[in-house]
Amino acid sequence: MAQLTNRAKILAQKPLTFWESLYLPAIFKGMAITFGHMFKKKPTINYPEQKRPFSSVFRGLHVLNRDEAGRENCTACGLCAVACPAEAITMEAAERQPGEENLYREEKYAAKYEINMLRCIFCGLCEEACPKDAIYLSETFAPSDFTRKGFIYGKENLLIPHPVMEKEKFEMARGQREQQIKNK
């Protein structure tokens, strides 16, 4: 058949020479290759002990932020819910009562704040929309769960630990955040 292009490689199927039909030289060559691979560097990471570093712009699980005194930043304005393209955020607002000034920064706060992690596409538009720096995307991702219900994260899952009362946990939750903000 005529060749349409000159790229086709024509294979000549020659019978094996005596040396090749012994198989053994080829086998030894192959064994040398596999033996060499035993000492190669392994690309695998021991996952729970070692973790791959996230990129500085990684958008993970959401965190509801507090200020230095430990008051919640969120005022339940609803801008994040409006900005959300996946409609994953719902909230209920409530008025701050006298005596609750140490809990909430402004007069209005979110009594209920839920994000459906199955709907969320982790675009980070909620973070951009927020005028109060009350929500940001962290460096962790949502762990697996057995039920759909388990993926609806409420305030108890989202709120950052208290910076005064639970200082260590707060530092851990903040992670590299301060550094990143400075870098930006």
Partner 1 sequence: MIPIQFLVIDVWFGLEKLLLIGGIISFSLVVAMYTTFAERKIAGFMQDRRGPNRAGPFGILQPLADGLKLFFKEEIIPLTSNKSLFVLGPALAMLTAMLTSAVIPWGSQIEIAGRTVSLQVADVNIGILYVFGVVSLGVYGIMIGGWSSNNKFSLLAAVRGASQIISYELAMGLSLISLLMMTGSLSLKTIVEQQMQGGWGGFLGWNILYQPLAFLIFLICVFAECNRTPFDLPEAENELNFGYHQEYSSMKLGLYLFSEYVNMFISSAVVSTLFFGGYDIPFVNESELASSIGVNLVALLGFLTFFAKIAFFLFLFIWVRWTIPRFRYDQLMDLGWKKLIPLALANLLITAVVILTLNK
Select the span of 3-11, 25-33, 98-106, 127-135 touching partner 1 (CB under 8 A).
Answer: 25-33
Q: Which is nearer to partner 1, 7 or 42 (CB)?
A: 42
Q: Which one of residues 14, 37, 182, 184 is an interface residue with partner 1 (CB under 8 A)? A: 37
- As a whole number of angstroms, the distance between CA 97 and CA 135 comes to 23
**Residue 103 contacts residue 92 (beta carbons within 8 Å):** no
The distance of closest approach from Cβ of residue 51 to partner 1 in the complex, given in angstroms and rounded to an integer, is: 16
| Joined tokens for residue 36 | 């060499």
Q: Which one of residues 27, 94, 164, 172 is an interface residue with partner 1 (CB under 8 A)? A: 27
Does residue 20 bind partner 1 (CB under 8 A)? no
**Residue 71 contacts residue 165 (beta carbons within 8 Å):** no
Select the span of 27-35, 51-59, 125-133, 167-175 touching partner 1 (CB under 8 A).
Answer: 27-35
Does residue 52 bind partner 1 (CB under 8 A)? no
- As a whole number of angstroms, the distance between CA 130 and CA 136 comes to 9
Cβ partners under 8 Å of residue 160, min gap 6? 63, 64, 65, 66, 170, 173, 174
Q: Which one of residues 7, 9, 42, 149 is an interface residue with partner 1 (CB under 8 A)? A: 42
Q: What separation in angstroms does the CA of 128 have from each of 37, 83, 170?
A: 48, 9, 22
Binding site for partner 1 (CB under 8 A): 27, 30-31, 33-35, 37-38, 40, 42-44, 46
